[in-house]
Structure 1
Amino acid sequence: MAIARAGEGVQSVERALNILEVLARVGEAGVTEIAAELDVHKSTAFRLVSTLEGHDLVEQTGDRGKYRLGVGMLRLAGATTARLDLVQEARPICRQLAADTGETVNLAVLSENSALYVDQVAGSSSLQSHNWVGQHIPLHATSNGKVLLSELDGAQLDAALATLPAYTERTITRKSRLRSELSRVRERGYAEAVDELERGLTAVAAPIRNAHGDVIASMSVSGPTFRLADERVAEAVEQLLRAAGEVSFRLGWGRRS
């Protein structure tokens, strides 16, 4: 019975996607036309359209009974476009930063209660660096995560700090200590994580802002702790801040440094 219900759920998702494709192709359509396109009963088509309407993915036109793609589709498309724009604008700068530092450069965005890595460039010193692109990583144990956390408001931050698991003995697991760390991130303009996610891994990260000044991403330089001693970290931070500032400038924020 459970397998049958799961199969019905997948079929409903597929039919709902087909409705979106139909409306994208024809512009507007009534339930009768949609039912004919999908070869389903009119009541089934109406139920699916109603569900999509509830999520603003379709909306009724002035002509009652006709539907078209809704504003929810624009939000989804806008989020995808913004992410693609970010990666496109940041890529040449990430490459230059990786060349200058010799270390791995990553780009991350907030994704619910984790950081999602959207791009990575390996430096000349990297030895088969792990590819983080597409992976979700904890916010509290990484430099990128701390940058993304540092700009959250009270409710968002509380939700993100619901659990703070330890990954090494240096992972920050006390909320009060992490909040203090985030205050330092805001003051300094960058975050640091030494052996907090993995033993032997050091990373520094800086915020990337959009035209409104909102932090929309984080850029990091990471490498082995034995290579990134204090002097190297200080140098990497300077280069990182310039690079993150340049990406922010390209996205409409402030002036070129």
Structure 2
Amino acid sequence: MSNDREGDDASASPVTAGENTGAQSVDRAVTVLEIIARAGDASVSEVANIVGVHRSTISRLLAVLELRGMVELAGARGRYRLGLNILRLAEAVTGTLEISTQGVDACTALSALIGETVNVAVRQGDSAVNVYQAEGTGAVRVDSWVGRRTPLHATSSGKVLLAWPHLAPAVGLESGFARFTEHTITDPTLLRTELDRVRAEGWATTLGELEDGLNAIAAPIFGANGTVIGALSASGPAYRWSAEVMAEHALDVVAAADSVSALMGYRG
């Protein structure tokens, strides 16, 4: 009986070893792609040093990846960059991603943490439109904003969507803006200064600028190509969601937005 068991183990061992080796190769190949994606291009030696294996191992992996169109030579410098087949795969994934769906878990978790309402918004023309909302746990909550168009200059999400140059309108920052409360920024010069601050700090705030007594803070959501595709915001009544409290939770809002960015394919 013992001989039979030993025979069974011996026959199973090569399969297990092969599976482990195959999994390791796949893991290394993905790591190589991630390294090249972060760097833009890289040499065999650079990749080998980061992965911690011999150059010949990385050279073989790159040869296979090049054969499959996942990487290509970057000129005649002996460096590799991502290939066109990566773009084809990325486009197939991006087509199935919806920012409102990908933002559910992040919004729910942030709302539970801070007790306030959290939204995901995208830009439509000259407005910000909320596409998902997670309700806060506070006794007094803000109304549902899903599907409502809100002005870019008077909301935290709108400021985020205006702050990055590729999203800013060709015109619009040259003339005045509608006033909703006494706190609304209507002067183009002041708004430009505000947008500079948003880019520098990584988040935007509004203090009663759209509705008296309603404050909000928002951070950008990036797409796979590094452009801002939306904003994640947390809003609440001013007596509870003050400027000081928002500042304490600014990094929580940014982290939530970053997690959605990662799900949308952003690797920055």
What TM-score, normalized by structure 2, do the two folds share?
0.61
Provide the residue aligned with 1:158 in structure 2.
Answer: 171
Q: Does the alignment pair 1:194 with 2:245?
A: no
Count of paired positions: 176
Q: Is the 8 A contact 1:210 1:253 kept in 2?
A: yes
Q: Is the 8 A contact 1:102 1:126 kept in 2?
A: no
Q: Where does residue 229 of structure 2 map in the other structure?
A: 216
Choose the corresponding residue for 1:148, options 161, 168, 171.
161
Distance in structure 2 (CA, Å) of the matches to 1:141 and 1:218: 14
- For residues 231 and 169 of structure 1, do their structure 2 counterparts lie closer, same or farther at Cα, with a shift above 3 Å needed? closer
What runs of 5+ residues in structure 2 fail to find an aligned partner? 1-90
Shift, 1:238, TM fit: 1.5
Deviation per residue, 1:115-144 (Å, 9 max, x gap): 011111111015353111011000001100
Q: Is the 8 A contact 2:128 2:149 kept in 1?
A: yes
CA contact (8 A) 1:221 1:236 kept: no
Gaps of 5+ in 1: 1-77
Equivalent in the alignment of 1:87: 100
- 1:235 partnered with 2:248: yes
Which position in structure 2 is the counterpart of 1:34?
none
Q: 1:111 corresponds to which residue?
A: 124
For residues 181 and 155 of structure 1, the distance between their equivalents in structure 2, rounded to whole angstroms, comes to 14
Q: After TM superposition, list the pairs within 5 Å mapping 1:1-257 onto structure 2.
A: 85-125=98-138, 127-153=140-166, 156-159=169-172, 162-254=175-267
Q: In structure 1, how many angstroms separate the alpha carbons of the residues matched to 2:140 and 2:168?
A: 40
Q: Percent identity?
A: 41
Runs of 4+ in 1 over 3 A off after TM superposition: 81-84, 152-155, 159-163
Structure 1 residues 154 and 142 mapped into 2: Cα distance closer, same or farther (>3 Å)? closer
Question: What RMSD in Å do the two structures reach over aligned CA positions?
Answer: 2.2
User: How far did 1:191 drift?
Assistant: 0.2
Q: Distance in 2 between matches of 1:126 and 1:154?
A: 36
Q: 1:237 and 1:178 mapped to 2: Cα distance?
A: 20
Q: Distance in 2 between matches of 1:144 and 1:137?
A: 9
> Which deviates more from structure 2 when the two are superposed, residues 132-141 or residues 161-170?
161-170
* 3-state SS in 2 of match to 1:158: coil
SS in 2 for 1:140: helix
Q: Residue deviations 1:54-101, cap 9 Å, x none?
A: xxxxxxxxxxxxxxxxxxxxxxxx9xx869611111111100010001
2:256 maps to amino acid: A
After TM superposition, give the deviation of residue 234 of structure 1 in Å: 1.7
AA at the equivalent of 1:252: G
* Compared CA separation, residues 115 and 83, structure 1 to 2 (3 A): farther
Query: Do the aligned partners of 2:142 and 2:237 also contact (CA within 8 Å) in 1?
Result: no
Rate the CA distance shift 1:126–1:145 in 2: closer, same or farther, 3 A.
farther
SS in 2 for 1:94: helix
CA deviation map 1:189-236 (0-9, x unaligned): 000100101110110000000111100000000001111234311222
Q: Structure 1 206/154 Cα, relative in aligned 2: closer, same or farther at 3 Å? A: closer
Change (3 A) 1:100 1:187: same
Answer whether contact 1:149 1:157 (CA < 8 A) is retained: no
